[in-house]
Amino acid sequence: MNALAALGRVTLRVVRGVGQVAIFAARGLAAPGFHPALLARQLLRIGWLSLPVVGLTALFTGAALALQINSGGERFQAGDVVPAIVAIGMVRELGPVLGGLMVAARVASSIAAEIGSMRVSEQIDALVTLSTDPMGWLVTPRLWAAILSVPVLVAVGDAIGIMGGWLVGTTALGFTSQAYISNSWAYLESWDVLSGLIKGAVFGAIVALAGCWFGMHAGRGAEGVGRATTNAVVAASVGILAANFVLTGLFFT
């Protein structure tokens, strides 16, 4: 009975937590008091300022992927498939996932630290006192900015990753530029690209939601803010990997 009671308590705690996060997300998406200027500011901070790290990650990933596929393909005399596999692998999986993880490392921590510091310094209480909804002022702009900007980052990362594979393919693997480009597009379908962009939007929502949730529920003091920042990055990263598994199963099975 003790084991069953413990299992029941854990189950109820998980269900309650999921429900609370779902309500928080719904409120964040449609909170009143939304300001377009705040959205523009967050688009700059989340999207534009994340472009360098996402671009560099995609470039080296595409280059390394081309080397790995060529090394494995030579065992089966299948080196010609390098461009196609790099392109499909980047737009379906590696572009969205690695881009999302880089944004999670940079943005989820920043959001959690910023909102957590406001919580500790009672700035959020001041917003409530001034009849300003903290959800509309703090959460909604960040959530929508991430949903809108991460797919753009994914698209740019896909292109840069494919370019990284092209650089390696034409300089080290013996491909001509024309052959590499034509083989890259030969097997790439529009759904491959679209599915990656949908993943990007979902991953962006996960990143912003994790940062805002843990920031709004940060404990008191510097330790509480630090713990909220760590929890936000961990939750966003695990959430991205779990969501990627679910979405891949829905899209390609």
pLDDT in tens, 240-249: 999 999 999 9
Nearest to 97 by CA among 215, 229, 25, 196: 196
Asked, for residue 2, whether it belongs to a domain, the answer is no
Asked, for residue 10, whether it belongs to a domain, the answer is no
In the chain, the number of structural domains is 1
- The pLDDT score that the predictor gives to residue 92 is 94
- HEC string of 126-175 equals HHHHCCCCHHHHHHHHHHHHHHHHHHHHHHHHHHHHHHHHHHHHHHCCCC
- The pLDDT score that the predictor gives to residue 245 is 96
Give residues with Cβ within 8 angstroms of 70, minimum separation 6. Answer: 79, 82, 169, 173
- The pLDDT score that the predictor gives to residue 30 is 82
Asked, for residue 205, whether it belongs to a domain, the answer is yes
Nearest to 103 by CA among 157, 59, 56, 53: 53
Nearest to 106 by CA among 158, 57, 170: 57
Q: Which residue reads 């330790």 in tokens?
A: 223
- The pLDDT score that the predictor gives to residue 1 is 56
Helix and strand element counts for the chain (H, E):
12, 0
CA dihedral 194, 198, 200, 201 (to 10 degrees): 140
- The pLDDT score that the predictor gives to residue 91 is 95
Asked, for residue 16, whether it belongs to a domain, the answer is no
CB atoms within 10 A of CB 101: 20
The residue range of the domain holding 158 is 34-247
Distances (CA, A) of 66 to 48, 75, 90, 217: 27, 15, 11, 44
Asked, for residue 166, whether it belongs to a domain, the answer is yes
Give pLDDT < 70 ranges for the chain. 1, 33-34, 74, 78
Note every long-range contact of 176-179, with CB atoms under 8 Å and residues 24 or more positions apart, other chains counting: 179/83
- Separation CA 241–CA 234 (nearest Å): 11
Nearest to 134 by CA among 22, 34, 15, 37: 34
- The pLDDT score that the predictor gives to residue 33 is 66
- The pLDDT score that the predictor gives to residue 108 is 94
